Structure 1
Amino acid sequence: MLLIALPSAQAANIYISGDSPFSELHIDGEIVKHDYTRMINVINRHRDIPYMLSLNSKGGNVMESIRIGSFARKYLMRFESKKCNSACLFIMLGSMYRSESKTAEFGIHRPKFKREFFANLTAQEATNKYKSLRNIVEAYMLRMGAKQQLVDDMFAVPSNNMKFIKSKNMATLLNTQSEGYSEWIISKCGDDLNPKQHHDLMAFYKNRSLQGNSYFEYLDSKSTQYFHCELEVVRMEQVRLFNNDARFNVQQLGAN
């Protein structure tokens, strides 16, 4: 299936920076065929699952991006972005923890087939092919937590155009973490702050004159403990998955 979001060009620069367990996997540039395999090879050489997935991409090959996004979801990877347009969105959707940068923007438009392929189809063949494409992409997006509105918004934009969505607006088009994952973390780490406590803690961070107040110090301590517990739980799961993945099973990976 010849699916792309932008014309193929030079492969993305895929590399890892930093030390375990807080290393970052960088994908810089256009995503092309075989980039998923290249990513696996980079991780295999590193002998560790990166903590963060850092994206700087204008998009590229749809199916490669979906494979990378599926990997990010399986391995509970975090996400940050300097630039994430077109097919790059599918990688972002796969991550469990998405960028909270207020300046981040995401460019969306509907994906397309290679021009030389699609131009040689009849109108009916093109209609059928594109329907199949939408079914694949839509199913993936919904499975990864996109709301139907984001799917519809993306497919409403022609492939030769781009609609940019601010980070704060993108957040409204995504569902929160899956119920299963949330309950799994609760079972491991206990209760996090409730909405009122979280609101109070944010007020405390904005007004440090409240420092020394036992209530706010309690909230800060509880939030920090929960955060570190979740990090540890996720790390242990990443190690378990890595050590049971035949692609990486050369030597056992430790949690530290």
Structure 2
Amino acid sequence: MLIAPTFSYGMDVRHDKKRNEYTTFLTGKIVPGDLAKIVASVSAPGNFPKYFTLDSPGGDLLEAMRIGQFIRETATGTFVAKECSSACVFLLVAGTSRSALDDAAVGIHRPYFEAKEFSGLSLPEAEARHRQLRSAARRYLENMEMTTAAIEKMFSIGSDDVYYLTPPDKARLLVVPSAYSEWIRAKCSPPTAQDTQLFKSRGFNIFAKFDKEPPTDPVFLAYISKMDRAQKCEEDLVKQVRDAALLKYRGK
């Protein structure tokens, strides 16, 4: 089984309803069975977060890919406040929005095989298994729209080492997946780049809508109205997607 060289006992799943944007913390090593734990935890009414806050040194890669697929199928965002390394990165890139604090540690390296999984195999058997799982990991990352450069960097780092992404590395990784972005754009018609450029050229800020006396300029009002409609449209679409995905995963 592909794993990351970490220790501890499975992920702790904890909800935080005190924040303006409801989140669920996934903390600790990733182990088999964590997906079922997460699905059960977020299935109660009102318990599904807007994003998952990740703090993990890694763990079981196959389970990480299962969790990542769940994150993507439920159109949920991911966020790193402290650390997300090794197999945890497979969760991070699954988010339909991805973000991290400036000083958050995001570390990558090549997955490795636990000795007990391969000690009884012949060399040809081990090589075949190795190719199969490496191919699955690479295909997963490509499907999650991780850049080719980042994938190649990951597979170039030894399993007993770790490369922490630089700020430019993180900026390239923490982007909205293009397929999701284009889907929302087609469905919800959010403000275009030209709309935003005009809005900013007038010196406006979106937070001005909360002012006691917000601007009455037609450009401001049109932009805010378009943005609010698009946000509501996206929320409705995500809810539909999420409800369908939860039915699927609860049935597994």
TM-score range, shorter chain: 0.7 to 0.9
Q: 1:193 and 2:191 equivalent?
A: yes
Q: Deviations over 1:222-249 (max 9, x none)?
A: 223322321222123323443x336269
Whole-Å separation in 2 of the counterparts to 1:248 and 1:129: 30
CA distance in 2, matches of 1:127, 1:118: 10
Q: Secondary structure at the match of 1:33?
A: coil
Of 223, 229, 236, 2:233 maps to: 229
Name the % identity: 26
For residue 31 of structure 2, give the secondary structure of its aligned residue in structure 1: coil
Gaps of 5+ in 1: 250-256
> Which residue in the other structure is 2:145 paired with?
145
2:211 paired residue number: none
TM alignment of 1:92-131, pairs within 5 A? 92-99=92-99, 101-118=101-118, 124-131=124-131
**Alpha-carbon distance in 2 for matches of 1:207, 1:37:** 39
Q: CA deviation at 1:171?
A: 3.7
Q: In the alignment, which residue of structure 2 is the partner of 1:16?
A: 15
The CA distance in 2 between the partners of 1:18 and 1:133, in whole Å, is: 38
Q: How many pairs align?
A: 242
Distance 1:228 1:94 in 2: 22
What amino acid maps onto 1:145 in structure 2?
E
SS in 1 for 2:79: strand
CA displacement at 1:207 relative to structure 2:
11
User: Separation in 1 of the partners of 2:121 and 2:167?
Assistant: 38
157-166 vs 96-105, which moves further: 96-105
Residue 76 in structure 1 maps to residue 69 in structure 2: no
- Cα deviation code 1:181-237 (max 9, x no counterpart): 445434432x222223324445633997xx734423432332233223212221233
Q: Deviations over 1:84-125 (max 9, x none)?
A: 111001011111111154444410001111134446655555
- Return the TM-score normalized by structure 2: 0.81
Residues 107 and 164 of structure 1 are in contact (CA less than 8 Å); yes or no, is this contact kept in structure 2?
Answer: yes
Which residues in structure 2 correspond to 1:174-189 (within 5 Å)?
A: 176-179=176-179, 181-189=180-188
The residue type paired with residue 226 of structure 2 is: K
Unaligned runs of 5+ in 2: 209-213
Superposition pairs of residues 242-253 of structure 1, within 5 angstroms: 242=246, 244-245=247-248, 247=250
Seen in structure 2, the aligned counterparts of structure 1 residues 18 and 167 have a Cα distance that, compared at 3 Å, is: farther
Structure 1 stretch 232-241 or stretch 199-208: which is displaced more? 199-208
Superposed CA RMSD? 3.1
Moved more, 197-206 or 60-69: 197-206
What is the letter of the counterpart of residue 152 of structure 2?
D
